[in-house]
Amino acid sequence: MTLAIDGGAPIRRRPFPSCNTIGDEERRAVLQVLDSGVLSQFIGAWGPDFLGGPRVRALESAWAAYFGVRHAVSVNSATSGLYAAVGAAGVGPGDEVIVSPYTMSASATAAIVYGAVPVFADIDPDTFCLDPQSVRARITDRTRAIIGVDLFGHPADWRGLRAVTGSRPIVLIEDSAQAPGAKVGGRFAGTLADIGVFSLNYHKTIHSGEGGVVVTDDDRFADRLQLIRNHGEAVVKAKGDEDLVNLVGYNYRMTEIEAAIALEQLKKLERLLQPRIDAAEYLSRHLAELPGLSVPRTDPGVRHGYYVYAFKYDAEQAGLSRARFAEALRAEGIPVSVGYVEPLYRQPMYQRGIAIGGNGFPFIQAGREPISYPDGLCPVAERMHERELLYFSFCQAGIAEADLRDVVAAVSKVLESARKPVAA
């Protein structure tokens, strides 16, 4: 069978179905907010409205109950949530924060905004999350926090990460933006560290356009998160909490409309997540035996959230390069992405050593050697990006088995073509 890239007929000509998760429930909730005339009720002064309006508080209460945590603090984005989490952990200039190189940039810049140095540890080659043994090798007496990412929907090894910190006072921050509803042994991702951060960005499993929620069981962290969210420095005196004088607040407040939408979306989480899992498991059953492919690994006791379906590719076993494989799949009508993000330490900010101001801060600080980020720093992450990782983004609610059959047929067609002998 001639490949579409070589002039043959493609397996699929129609686009994959889109998934609009916004329905009548969200419309009614938004109209109620509009009818109330109160689009936000936050006040940057100590008092009842310092914690926001009725929809914000209802969302936080429902989120805490759903995920089984003491506190949920809404924010205007998961990025804001990460920044607030690092601030709540007490990170400051001279500290180090261990982070993943294979994630969205905010997971690392959260350290920089507090003047701390991001220290990149390598990833596990199967889950793509932080490798605890690599983290162990990076821990120093300056390490103040670790930000792990539940990448692609698979929870990081939080038990392993906790173990390598030992008795050190290191705060674990869980970036669970891509893993709402994932679980480890019955506990939700996002609740496995000291502080967890969820995203409500528009392309997540559930969303409110923009937004996020930070969760914790620690009363003190929750207090600081609320203060960082809403101009906390302005209320310390009125609040009567002198231990918080080292805290600077921002405006990370969620609107009543976003909260109303998010509250309805939370109710749909399970029925929006399960189709992702079903689709991913279908693909794994049918792709696992094909040469050159390693389907997503799920650790024992883990429920994967499948933000995307990420798999590994061995060009030598498959008989064609990753670039050619991806190009051929796209020609067959199957959108596939190559790599994920270039390891973050290759960004100009890290390579040039300038993040804040013009004097190299925070990479150059008094009393220590300048920080550098050479190639080879995280070889597994580099290998995934350059040679092995591919992913599909269409495993979501609305996907049909017929769509998935096309994926399997296209992958099989491309790989079979690579094994055929070339005619003399």
Residue 233's Cβ-count burial label (10 Å; 0-12, 13-18, 19+) is middle
- In eight-state DSSP terms, residue 76 is S
Q: CB–CB of 367/332 below 8 Å? A: no
Q: What one-letter code names the amino acid at 299?
A: D
Distance (Å, whole) CA 233 – CA 87: 13
Instruction: Please state the separation of Cα 34 from the chain's center in Å.
Output: 31
What's the average pLDDT block by block, 10 residues per block, for the chain (424 residues)?
95 94 97 97 94 98 98 98 97 95 96 96 98 98 97 98 96 98 97 98 96 97 96 87 75 98 98 97 97 94 97 97 98 97 96 91 82 96 98 94 98 92 49
H helix or E strand, kind and range, residue 175? strand 171-175
Q: Is the pTM of this model over 0.85?
A: yes
User: How does strand 143-149 pair with strand 171-175?
Assistant: parallel
Domains of the chain: 24-268 (3.40.640.10)
Residue 204's Cβ-count burial label (10 Å; 0-12, 13-18, 19+) is buried
Residue 37's Cβ-count burial label (10 Å; 0-12, 13-18, 19+) is exposed
CA dihedral 21, 25, 28, 29 (to 10 degrees): -90
The whole-number pLDDT of residue 245 equals 59
Among candidate residues 300, 302, 296, 306, the one with its CA nearest the CA of residue 273: 306
The set of long-range contacts for 353-359, using a CB threshold of 8 Å and a minimum separation of 24, is 355/109, 355/112, 356/112, 356/115
The whole-number pLDDT of residue 218 equals 97
Secondary structure class of 169 (helix, strand, coil) = coil
196 Cβ contact partners less than 8 Å away, ≥ 6 residues apart:
69, 173, 174, 176, 189, 190, 214, 215, 216
CB neighbourhood size of 123 (10 A): 26
3-state helix, strand, coil in the chain (%, to 5): 40, 15, 45
The whole-number pLDDT of residue 247 equals 77
CB neighbourhood size of 361 (10 A): 16
Distance (Å, whole) CA 53 – CA 357: 37
Residue 28's Cβ-count burial label (10 Å; 0-12, 13-18, 19+) is exposed
Q: What one-letter code names the amino acid at 250?
A: Y
The whole-number pLDDT of residue 299 equals 86
404 Cβ contact partners less than 8 Å away, ≥ 6 residues apart:
279, 282, 283, 286
Distance (Å, whole) CA 307 – CA 343: 19
